[in-house]
């Protein structure tokens, strides 16, 4: 009898522990993923979307439909209803979620882009004069090793010995907006593992940086909230100042295939950082140089790609630096044109600390 009671008590306490552990997990899950429905003012269909995906999803909408925010919204009053396309979009969101639920086990296989493909009015007539897809180049009989690709890259930049002598860098650049006309002056500073870029929009300066431990971004009077993936990219800018360390930046690198970008052959390498952020690196086969880097974040409405293209490598005191850097994401694009590079000039450490 006594042992039976004991057993009941033990079972009860286990049950309680499990119950509280479960409640703890629930509470944790809830505080961890705030939903768009909780964070924003007038959400009727994207209620369960993680709040930190909303910005990316809106940018995907603009790119998928080939429009800008004002197609659906009135100025900055994003919570306001009244524009027909916003109403239409709500119906479309429900439809897209239903298609994925009914057919693809809730995986976001069909997205706005599947039908819209860059147009707000989808095309229901097949293209009668299609441009044939370029064929993949023939694959090499012996695959290059990651070591060979990396060695060629370091040599193409000027060699490990010369690279190791660069301890700081100051760059004057222009940020060119997609219209090709709007140009903002930029200054970029590097020191081993640290980075700061300051862009001046009229009279307002926006500065982003990585202190060696912390990524930050600041407007004129306040800090701008960084999502984890945005902070990660600011950190990567700092790390790639020392490209000779590329194997330390990406402890895992795997050769995938030979492909083409703009008609030129590239080796495609998948890479993962120590914290397991996955990126894809593209090295020009002939020159050995890194020409593209991309990373992607899955959202409920498709993949948000962050892509950086490096072009026009020029020699600065024996070291090659890409002087045209194109940043592209759904709905967001700009180009950094490097005008002046100064190696090993004085750069104060305090510049990189979160101000």
C-beta closer to ligand HEC: residue 6 or 94: 94
Q: Report the nearest approach of ligand HEC to the CB of residue 82 (Å).
A: 12
Nearest CB to ligand HEC, comparing residues 42 and 106 = 42
Least Å distance, CB 237 to ligand HEC, is: 23
Residue 319 is given by DSSP the state: E
Nearer Cβ to ligand HEC (44/264): 44
If the CB atoms of residues 95 and 228 are measured against ligand HEC, the closer one turns out to be 95
For the bound state, the minimum distance from the C-beta of residue 328 to ligand HEC, rounded and expressed in Å, comes to: 15
The CA-atom distances, in angstroms, between 259 and each of 263, 281, 292 are 9, 12, 12
Residues at the interface with ligand HEC (CB under 6 A): 40-46, 58-59, 61-62, 65, 67, 69, 71-73, 78-79, 85-86, 88-90, 92-93, 96, 110, 112, 114-116, 120-122, 301, 331
Q: Which helix (DSSP H) or strand (DSSP E) does residue 255 occupy?
A: strand 252-261
Closer to ligand HEC by CB, 120 or 354: give it.
Answer: 120
Cβ pair 290, 283 in contact under 8 A: yes
Q: Token match 């193409």: residue? A: 156
Helices of type H across the chain: 2-32, 36-39, 54-65, 84-103, 112-116, 146-157, 160-164, 228-239, 246-249
Looking at the DSSP assignment, which residues form a beta bridge with residue 267?
258, 283
Q: From the CB of 331, what's the least distance to ligand HEC, in Å?
A: 5
In whole angstroms, the minimum distance from the beta carbon of 128 to ligand HEC comes to: 20
Token pair, residue 22, equals 């479960």
User: Which lies closer to ligand HEC via its Cβ, residue 42 or residue 213?
Assistant: 42
Distance CA 209, CA 334 (A): 18
d(CA 238, CA 35): 32
Minimum distance, C-beta of residue 96 to ligand HEC, in the bound complex (Å) = 4
Residue of 293, 300, 280, 353 lying closest to 322 (CA atoms): 293
């Amino acid at each position: 009898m006594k042992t039976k009671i004991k057993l009941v008590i033990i079972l009860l306490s286990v049950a309680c522990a499990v119950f509280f552990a479960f409640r703890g997990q629930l509470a944790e899950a809830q505080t961890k993923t705030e939903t768009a429905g909780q964070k924003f003012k007038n959400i009727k269909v994207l209620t369960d979307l993680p709040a930190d995906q909303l910005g990316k999803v809106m940018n995907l909408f603009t790119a998928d439909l080939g429009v800008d925010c004002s197609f659906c919204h009135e100025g900055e009053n994003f919570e306001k209803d009244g524009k027909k396309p916003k109403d239409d979009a709500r119906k479309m969101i429900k439809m897209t979620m239903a298609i994925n639920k009914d057919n693809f086990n809730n995986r976001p296989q069909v997205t706005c882009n599947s039908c819209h493909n860059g147009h707000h009015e989808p095309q229901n007539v097949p293209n009668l004069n299609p441009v044939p897809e370029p064929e993949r180049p023939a694959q090499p009989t012996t695959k290059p090793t990651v070591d060979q690709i990396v060695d060629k890259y370091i040599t193409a930049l000027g060699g490990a010995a010369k690279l190791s002598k660069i301890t700081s860098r100051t760059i004057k650049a222009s940020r060119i907006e997609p219209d090709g006309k709007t140009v903002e002056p930029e200054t970029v500073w590097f020191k081993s593992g640290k980075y700061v870029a300051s862009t001046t929009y009229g009279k307002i300066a926006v500065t982003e940086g990585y202190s060696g431990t912390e990524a930050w971004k600041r407007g004129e009077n306040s800090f701008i909230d960084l999502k984890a993936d945005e902070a990660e990219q600011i950190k990567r800018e700092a790390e790639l100042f020392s490209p000779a360390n590329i194997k330390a930046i990406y402890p895992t690198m795997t050769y995938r295939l030979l492909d083409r970008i703009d008609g030129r052959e590239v080796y495609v390498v998948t890479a993962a950082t120590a914290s397991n952020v996955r990126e894809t690196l593209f090295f020009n086969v002939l020159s050995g140089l890194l020409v593209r880097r991309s990373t992607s974040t899955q959202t409920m409405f498709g993949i948000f790609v962050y892509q950086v293209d490096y072009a026009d490598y020029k020699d600065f005191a024996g070291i090659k630096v890409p002087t045209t850097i194109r940043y592209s994401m759904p709905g967001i694009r700009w180009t950094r044109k490097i005008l002046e590079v100064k190696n090993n000039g004085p750069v104060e450490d305090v510049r990189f600390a979160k101000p």
